[in-house]
Homo-oligomer: A and B are copies of this chain.
Amino acid sequence: MQRKSPKKVLPLSKVYALLESGPVVLLTTANKKGANTMPMSWHTMMEFEPPYVGCIISDRNYSFNILKSTKECVISIPTKELLKKVVACGNTSGRDTNKFKTFGLTVATASAVKAPLIDECYVNLECKVIDTKLVKKYGFFVLEVIKAWIDSKNKMPQTIHHQGKGEFMVAGKIIKTSSKKK
């Protein structure tokens, strides 16, 4: 038999911070004016292989129009050591700041897109936009990862996970289970 939940009602405005705890990534785009990067937490895998990634970019972000028109980007995964720089990238805009120069991030040439890789990040993923059907309504882009780069020397990457209002959870210990899932 079902009973009434013993839990307290949570304001709907607090829900997002409970769910968005995937790793914070840096989304890098490039156009004639140069390259720019922004932190992003609202993303999900959509397919294993080829890897599709869905992500939300607000049209208030400088990156929105660049991604929409160039249809290319790089997703980089930073670790704990980069947290201050990641926050600095989020507190500024590419409209008036060269974030790579200002915050000391080293760019490297990608193989298949114009946006650069970020050396200090644990992983770099070169992506093409493959579906824009939900961009107008939600800012939801579907990306295909076409090339992936990893720092294979980093065996314990401490990714960072935004939990709303500037609080970040740092990846903790790993547990192995008998899950049969990929």
Contacts and interface: CB of A to CB of B under 8 A. Distances in A.
Interface of A: 2-16, 18-23, 25, 39, 41-56, 75, 77, 80, 83-84, 87, 90-91, 107-110, 116-117, 119, 123-125, 131, 133-134, 137-138, 140, 142, 145-152, 158-182
Which of A45, A107, A174 has the largest count of B CB atoms less than 10 A from its CB? Answer: A45
Nearest to A139: B46
Nearest to A151: B7
A177 B171 contact: no
A77 B18 contact: yes
A55 B54 CA distance: 10
24 contacts: A2-B107, A2-B108, A5-B108, A5-B117, A5-B149, A6-B108, A7-B149, A7-B151, A9-B149, A12-B145, A16-B49, A16-B51, A19-B45, A42-B45, A54-B138, A87-B177, A91-B179, A91-B181, A133-B134, A161-B161, A166-B177, A167-B176, A168-B177, A169-B173
